[in-house]
Amino acid sequence: MLKSMKKNQVAILTTTRVDKLHTNFPSSFFNQHKAFKVGDTVSFTVSLFGIENTSYFYKLLIADKLAYVRRLKENAGKFFKIGNFKKAAKIYQKINGYYSFGDTGNNFMKEDVDSEHFKQCDADLGVEKINCFSNLVVCKTKT
């Protein structure tokens, strides 16, 4: 539902899946384990104010691709650490998809492939590919 929302649209989400709230929405503002108990009905009012990422992954500069992959990897790592291996695996699969379809390797922005910066970012993307794929395998074996 949230993926299909338009800007400034308001949606009310209601759920009784408190177990999902405990694992998918860790919060440092309040202790959701005490606030919600199994069997409670929880409602959220959500409004989409704007979209942060408006460009396609393959159109990013190589340094931005690396930063994006690392941010996704960090989010997946958080889910892994709290034991939500299914959610972590989903994020790692998304990262793996960028490598499988060649989005990380293309040079859409026509950057200088001979520059040291480009070569270093490309090498770092290769390292992240191996790390993310290994983490995906671990997640799959734990689920």
For residue 52, tell me if it sits in a domain. Answer: no
Is 6 within 8 Å of 48 (Cβ atoms)?
yes
For residue 95, tell me if it sits in a domain. Answer: yes
| Confidence band, pLDDT 50/70/90 cuts, at residue 114 | confident
Residues 22 and 83 occupy one common structural domain = no
User: CA–CA distance from 106 to each of 10, 27, 61 (Å)?
Assistant: 38, 37, 10
Other C-beta atoms closer than 10 Å to the C-beta of 35 total: 12
Triad 113, 114, 119: Cα angle to 5°: 70
Question: Does pLDDT of 141 surpass 90?
Answer: yes
What tens digit of pLDDT does each residue of 54-63 get?
Answer: 678 888 888 9
Residues 28 and 74 occupy one common structural domain = no
| Confidence band, pLDDT 50/70/90 cuts, at residue 130 | very high
Q: What is the dihedral of CA 85, 139, 134, 119, to 10 degrees?
A: -30
Predicted pLDDT at 26: 63
- The pTM of the full predicted model, rounded to 2 decimals, is 0.68
